[in-house]
Amino acid sequence: MTREEIIAEINAELAEEFEIDEATITPDAPIYQTLELDSLSLVDLIGIVQTKYGVLISKTELPNIKTFAQLYDYIEQHQK
């Protein structure tokens, strides 16, 4: 999957699953605020990425993913 394909797919998926306007998802937007994540729904985000791409975001790397661009990077680097 190309980066563009990942971005299009994950943005649509996150907007649908977290019930937000897809237009609010931009590369530099903060993930936590945009998706209205708390410690519980953060796990839902990890679940979506794992189900969709087979990519499990590890506990140690989680704090490094703050923006959508960083999420795209992570998926692109770890996808199987």
Partner 1 sequence: MHDVLIIGSGLGGLECGALLAQRGLRVLVLEGSNQPGGCMQSFRRGGLHYDTGLHYVGGLASGQAMHKAFAQLGLMDLPWQRMDEDFDHVIIGGRHFAFHQGYEAFVEGLAKDFPHQREALQSFVQRLQNITAEDMDVCAYDYLCQTFSDELLLNVVSAAAMKTELRRESLPLFNFAHTCSSYIESSWRLRGDGNLLVNKLIDTIKEAGGEVRTNSRVVRLTEDDGRITKAICADGTTYEAGYFISDIHPAVLCQLLEECPSVRKAFRRRMTSGENTCGMFTAQLSIKPDTLRYFGHNVFVYDKPNVWTMTEENDPVKGVMISARVPEDESETLRQIDLLTPMPWYECQAWTETKVGHRGEDYKDLCQRKTEQCITLAEQYIPDLRSKIETCYTSTPLTYRDYLGSPEGGAFGLRKDCRASMLSFHSVNTPLPNLLLTGQSVILPGIEGVTMTAFETCNKIIQDNAR
Positions in the binding site for partner 1 (CB under 8 A): 16-19, 39-41, 43-48, 50-51, 56, 59
- In the complex, minimum distance from the CB of residue 18 to partner 1, in angstroms, rounded to a whole number: 6
User: What letters, b where the CB count within 10 A reaches 16 and e where it falls short, cover 34-69?
Assistant: bbebeeeeeeebbebbeebbebebeeeeeeebebbe
Q: How far is the CB of 73 from partner 1 (least distance, A)?
A: 20
**By C-beta, is 41 or 67 nearer to partner 1?**
41
How many angstroms separate the CA atoms of 40 and 4, rounded? Answer: 29
Measured from the CB of residue 19, what is the shortest distance to partner 1 in angstroms? Answer: 5
